[in-house]
Structure 1
């Protein structure tokens, strides 16, 4: 049996998964019948699994998702115009590799934010980074950041995120400064990363809602032409007292 200090050394090297697996091997005499290579494989597999789990936890924490949602929980049977085939396709993550976006529109309460967060959660599971932001609050934060010197740093950090959720798009008409900031955010991300936009308004109303025809043209040119569309309809599921996720969907 290997001496106990080996486990301490593994932990000192931050190989906690291997340390745990080795301790389990010492407590299971039957494993001694395995070859050295087989036991080492078990140690390495455990370490990799532990690192994958910690990495996912870090990505989910950094994403600050408004709701903890997964695609398996999305109700595809409720009649709200949700295309299960499209959802399964998006679950594969190719849209992120292709630097495409997703636009989710529909009335309040039909699950736009839930689906957006579920897509971001799936992205985190696949090793991508994500970040949730309520559009109006993000523009306010970046406007304030211009006054205290944090603006460029925040803008750069947003640009590095693989999947950005802009929730409640169009809920408030942005200020002139907000429109310019929004254009900078989307220009940094255009064909470099993916953006999920959720909105109560149809895309046909976005141009007018932005309030400035010239900047609206530039902003929408960067979001409308390279995005998948999910157009939901129906009454609020909250109004009906119905959970947004009573059914599960197979992603296979």
Structure 2
């Protein structure tokens, strides 16, 4: 009776990890019987800490809404696209996010830009950092709608507070004046305070032309390129090569 009451109390206090740990200790008495009270209690506290950490990561990943499930341990370094482990080792430490630097990933279609962006975003979530992922065109559309329904200021504030903003497929279309102004406001809020990750088929040398207005392009790129880490990928499409392998095996 006391056992059930203790478990109910722990769960009522939202100490789910401790409750699960206590159940495990009771169900495996032989494993824990030689441990003293302090050691068994330390195991319960550790179980609760791990439970809360895992829940936080799950919440951060849900809010990030990444396009792909992508993990550092699954990166393919064998594909000839100019990517090395040493290039990513520093980025995977997340120091660049803590230092409020940016990451710019460029390269041809299918070389894994989005995947690598989602890997770095996942790693940021694993370290307790907030992330938001957008296809650039979708974010521009959201901002345009927000102007009309009065949510623009709130959306801009949300983006400004996010530790890492991921803008995927940057530069597919030339920007309008309204989009340039919105983007400048986002970059102004984030410059030196938060980090932005961009993936693009366009080489960085063409971004100025894509943005359009020379003055606004200078202002946006000055904030974006400052303290940025650049990954320039090359080679054939990984999707195309994998498709050819699948067909050859049929």
| Superposition TM-score, scaled by structure 1 size | 0.93
Deviation at 1:241, TM superposition (A): 2.3
Q: Match for residue 9 of structure 1?
A: 9
Deviation at 1:29, TM superposition (A): 2.1
Is the partner of 2:39 in helix, strand or coil? helix
Deviation at 1:3, TM superposition (A): 2.8
Counterparts of 1:202 and 1:77, CA distance in 2: 23
Equivalent residues, number: 243
Instruction: Give RMSD over aligned pairs.
Output: 1.4
Q: Match for residue 113 of structure 2?
A: 112
Q: Match for residue 20 of structure 1?
A: 20
Moved segments of 4+, more than 3 Å: none
Mapping for residues 35-184 of structure 1, pairs under 5 Å = 35-184=36-185
Counterparts of 2:34 and 2:114, CA distance in 1: 52
**Residue deviations 1:108-127, cap 9 Å, x none?**
10000000000000010111
Is the partner of 2:105 in helix, strand or coil? strand
Structure 2 gaps, min length 5: 245-250
**Residue deviations 1:73-121, cap 9 Å, x none?**
1111211111320201111111111100100000110000000000000
Deviation at 1:235, TM superposition (A): 1.4
- Answering whether residue 238 of structure 2 is matched by residue 237 of structure 1, we say yes
Structure 1 gaps, min length 5: 244-252
Counterparts of 2:25 and 2:240, CA distance in 1: 54
Q: Match for residue 250 of structure 1?
A: none
**Residue deviations 1:222-247, cap 9 Å, x none?**
1112110000011111122269xxxx
Deviation at 1:2, TM superposition (A): 5.4
Is the partner of 1:168 in helix, strand or coil? strand
**Greater per-residue helix proportion:** 2
